[in-house]
Structures are given as C-alpha cells and as structure tokens.
Structure 1
Amino acid sequence: MFKVRRPATRRMINLEVRDNTRVSPGFTRLTLGGPELKHLENSGHDQVVRLFFAREGQRELRMPTVSNDVWLAELLLLPKTRRPWVRSFTVRRFRPEECELEIEVALHGDAGPASAWAARAEPGDQAGIFDEGIAYLPPDHAGRQLLVGDESALPAILSILEHAPASLVAEVFLEVPEVADIRKDIVHPEGVRVHWIAREGTRPVPGMLALEAVKGAALPPGRFYTWAAGEAGLPTGVRRHLVTDRGVPKSDIAFIGYWRHGRSSPG
C-alpha cells in the first residue's frame, strides 16, 4: 500500500472565496483566503484537502466541529438542508504570507456539485478545508520518475513539476478534456518530458487514453518512482501494468484514486 503523510495536527479551517478566474474551457482557479490559513501546514506538492461548500439555497456554510476522521460521520448525520457539500482537491498554490491558497477545479457543467459551485462562486462566498496530507513521497534516490494523471490530478502534477529539483528526469502523461485545456507555459526541469493527451469527446471515462499512452511508452530501463492519480481506473491500471508487464516493484509506485466515474462521493 502506498504511503500517505498527514500533518502532525489538523483542524477545520474556515475561508472565503477571494477570486475566481477561468483558466481554460475546462478549468477555473479559485483563490481562497482568510486568517485561519495560518493553521494549515504546507506539507508537500500534492497536498489534498477536503473542500466544504454550501449547497444551493443554503445561506451559510456549516462546517464539522471535529478535527479528526470522525468528521464524515458528523456530516452525514446532518439533514441535507444544513449539510454542506464536500469534495477532495489538491492545492495548486499556497501563499501563507498572504493567507491565500489556490485550487483548480475541472468543470463538467452541472454534472457535479463541485463543478457547478466553482463555476458560479464569487468573492465573499464561504468555503472551508480540512487537510488530508500528501502521497507524493519519492525516495532521495528517485532522480527518475513517471507522473501520470487526468484533469483531477493536473494541479498536483503542475505543482510537483514547479517545485522539482533541476536534476529531475521524468516522463509525464497528462490527460485533459480538450486541446484548449493544454497549458503552454508550465514550469519544469529540463530533463522532464510532458506528453499531453486531449480526449476531445473520444472517451467516456477520463484517464483511459493516458493509461493507453503509458502502456505504449518506451520507458527507459532501470528503477524509477511512479506517482499516478485521477479517476480510479487510471492509477490502478498504471500500477497493474507496471507491476505485471514491466516488473516494477510495488514499493516504487504511489497510486491515488481521487474519484470514480459514475459514482458520487459521500456527503
């Protein structure tokens, strides 16, 4: 099983929307801020937080009162009239000196509550977060890496690349909904090759084109560290392929299912 590192202390953090900027047809960038961000530990580059936001028609956001894993049980005991929505996202950027962080949300119209809320969120809207830690934990000797993700993993991978050492050598496979969602100005070390894959409506399940690309890739021989995330079929498929077909040790692979196609998250 891959490792997840959680901060020593965690707490529910109340914030508000400070800005909402459309990055591309399929993504919007939310800037959240507030003085309570002083309690968030900047623990890594794929830092996952639970994002709490009000349902349509709710006047205020009601956050769980406990800062441990019992929060979900408390949440589900609330009637829907008072229960907030909650979804998982990775932090794109964290600016502790300004008490701000950015979260990029993949938009799917009104197909999901997070997408619908993010599309209409305005400055002053309430939001909250709860830190769930990091899973990108390459060993010190991991100078060669494989990073794979769909649109839900894009913010984490971009953050990882921005903070990577100049010596990093990596193959990166990123699947996005449209060609217009491909980022032209990403920052990464010279030894990193980024392979963009746009679905353009060709596949119903995100991540399957990226999985096919990895299976067909001429990866260099020798040991390397892998981080794969996104719709559950992508990271589990990448892991199965690497272990079964390429003999990669399971301990060298971190695989994280952020969501499941056709299934809603609890809450």
Structure 2
Amino acid sequence: MPLLHVTAVHPVTPHVVRVRFTGDGLDDFPTWPDQQLKLLIPRPGHPVPDLPADRHDKYGMAWYQAYQAIPAPERPRLRSYTVRAHHPDTRSIDIDFALHADAGPATRWAASARPGDTLGRYGPSAVYRTPLRAADRLLFAGDETAIPAIATHLAALPRGTRATAFIEVRDTAEQQPLDTAAELDLHWVHRGPVPPGHGTGLLDAVRTTPFPNGKAHAWVAGEAATVRALRRHLIDHAGLDKRQIDFTGYWRLALAQDDPPTEEDLAEARERVAD
C-alpha cells in the first residue's frame, strides 16, 4: 500500500485547503481528468497499515479484504478524493479538501494537516476512468466537492469545445479560477450561509436554463440527493438519454462513507451498472 507524505498545505478559499503530497510511484503516475484515489486516514494513535498491493491480484481487492480485517477501532477511515494536479518533476500531487462545518474525519484531518503527516492511498485505477463522450455541448454541474473534477475536465478540453458549468458554493469568496481553452459559460451559484446539501439553488439554476439543441453530454456530481434530482430533471425535462449523463453522488447529507448504503444509494448503483 503506497503512502502519501504531506509536503505543503495552503488555503485555496476560506473553506477549501490544498494539500501537496509526495510518495512512491508519483514520478510514474498515470493521469486523466477526474482521477480519483482512495485515501486511508489513520485513527489517532494508529499508524497507516501496510496493506498488500500484489500486482498478481487478479481483481485488485486483496488490499480491501485486508483492510476490512483490521479491528474497527484501529481501521483507518476510507475516503475518495480527486487529484487536483500532478507534478511529475517533484513526484507530487495536490488534493483539495472541502472543510465542512459538521467536520467528519477527512475535514478534521485536513484542517490540522502539517508537512510530515502520512496517509495511505489506493489507486488510481484505470477501471474508474470515464472519458467524456463526444458532444456539441457539455454541461457540468456540482457543488464545491466537484470543483477538482470539473477543473480537470475543463483543463483537458480542446479549443473550440462548448461547455456550460454550474457550480454551487457558499459565496464569492469560495469561487476558484478555472483554466480552459474551451468556450465556457460559467455560472457560480451562491447558496449563502446555508450548509452544503441544503436548499435547491443548484437544481433551480439548471432548471431555469434552456438546454442547448444538438448532441449534448452532462457530467453531474456532488451531494447524492441533489445529483439524483439533477439527473431526473435532465432526463424528464431536458430530454437527455440516460447514456448522455455521467453522475456520481460524492457524499450524502447526514451520512458518512462508512455508513451503510440507503435504498436510494442502492437504486443509484443499479442505474449506474445498467447504463
């Protein structure tokens, strides 16, 4: 199990912190937009475990079986994060952490992260690589947790691509620069002091915008219930086919990644497999 060692920490916005990591394997690190890693966040008093990473493991799950075998009080928290940037010259990567008021283990870790701190990582795995489909126009929609993925997708778009993005954040202080060669129509949706996952600002913004004619493709991520509502709107009212939408519930209101899946989570998983 490769380790990630913190080399630098700095705020991007009042509620987003960027952590730079170095570690084995980051000099020869395959990259693509929306590249996700599994981070293992150690519990206080327990180091990151040395889990198997056997190249001959046919399904690549030996590490997870070993992880599950760790006694619960010692087992690291497992969270998924998007690689914001890769720096091969310094064998490092950047990962952005959104700092939520109802601080979970990842927020608590990131808020106090210092150079020398260590996490475990699993990935990236090309199995989870999902390139955007060819389209006359692309639509991106998400909250602040989706900014790293949206940013990497936008940065990879060739000149002349037409894209629209709706991104929900608290206020103007949470907006981030997004570099792209595409023709980007960018909309920042401000929810105010309402906690993430509450309110319908992102959904309302997408609803009130006419969807462009022609072949389109949508990429939607963020709080799971909001993602489901956006997907339903795009299918039922914007006229998109299910296959024209990539969707991911990054997090669940009042639930952690450690909590068991709800019926809605299971329904979403079935739809993703069916698509």
What is the TM-score of this pair, normalised by structure 1?
A: 0.86
| Other-structure match for 1:54 | 42
| Other-structure match for 1:182 | 175
- Between the aligned partners of 1:175 and 1:210, the Cα distance in structure 2 is 6
Letter in 2 for 1:65: P
Contact 1:26–1:178 (Cα < 8 Å) also in 2: no
CA distances 1:183-211 after superposition (whole Å, capped 9, x unpaired):
2x321235111100122223562583212
For structure 1, which segment, 169-178 or 199-208, has the greater mean C-alpha deviation from structure 2 after superposition? Answer: 199-208
- Between the aligned partners of 2:179 and 2:191, the Cα distance in structure 1 is 23
Confirm whether residue 266 of structure 1 aligns to residue 254 of structure 2. no
| Other-structure match for 2:164 | 171
| Other-structure match for 1:5 | none
Letter in 2 for 1:138: L
For structure 1, which segment, 130-139 or 165-174, has the greater mean C-alpha deviation from structure 2 after superposition? Answer: 130-139
Within-5 A mapping of 1:237-248: 237-248=229-240
Contact 1:177–1:201 (Cα < 8 Å) also in 2: yes
Letter in 2 for 1:158: A
Contact 1:48–1:91 (Cα < 8 Å) also in 2: yes
| Other-structure match for 1:145 | 138
CA distances 1:154-203 after superposition (whole Å, capped 9, x unpaired):
111111112211111111000113331012x3212351111001222235
Contact 1:52–1:63 (Cα < 8 Å) also in 2: no
The change in CA–CA distance for 1:64 and 1:178 in structure 2 (over 3 A counts) is: farther
- Between the aligned partners of 1:167 and 1:75, the Cα distance in structure 2 is 46
| Other-structure match for 1:199 | 191
Contact 1:243–1:249 (Cα < 8 Å) also in 2: yes
- Between the aligned partners of 1:175 and 1:92, the Cα distance in structure 2 is 18
Confirm whether residue 115 of structure 1 aligns to residue 107 of structure 2. yes
* Paired residue secondary structure (2:25): helix
| Other-structure match for 2:8 | 19
- Deviation for aligned residue 1:261: 1.0
| Bigger helix share | 2
* Paired residue secondary structure (1:64): coil
* Paired residue secondary structure (2:52): coil
| Other-structure match for 2:263 | none
* Paired residue secondary structure (2:131): coil
- Of residues 95, 101, 112, the one that matches 1:103 is 95
The change in CA–CA distance for 1:162 and 1:103 in structure 2 (over 3 A counts) is: same
| Other-structure match for 1:3 | none
Letter in 1 for 2:153: I
% of aligned pairs identical?
A: 33
Q: What is the number of residues matched between the two proteins? A: 252
Q: Which has the higher contact order (CA 8 A, sep 6+)?
A: 1
- Between the aligned partners of 1:53 and 1:164, the Cα distance in structure 2 is 33
CA distances 1:209-265 after superposition (whole Å, capped 9, x unpaired):
212211111222222111111111222222211111122111111011111111111
The change in CA–CA distance for 1:206 and 1:156 in structure 2 (over 3 A counts) is: farther
Confirm whether residue 154 of structure 1 aligns to residue 147 of structure 2. yes
- Between the aligned partners of 1:37 and 1:92, the Cα distance in structure 2 is 14
